[in-house]
Amino acid sequence: MTTAIFASAFAGSSEAPSKPAGLMRRILDAMIESRTRAAAIELRRHEAYIADLQRKQEHSPFFLMQDEALPFKV
Domain ranges of the chain: 22-65
What residues contact 74, with CB distance under 8 A and at least 6 apart? 57, 60, 62, 63, 66
* DSSP structure class, residue 18: P
Residues in the chain predicted with pLDDT less than 70, given as ranges, are 1-17, 56-74
Q: What is the pLDDT of residue 1?
A: 46
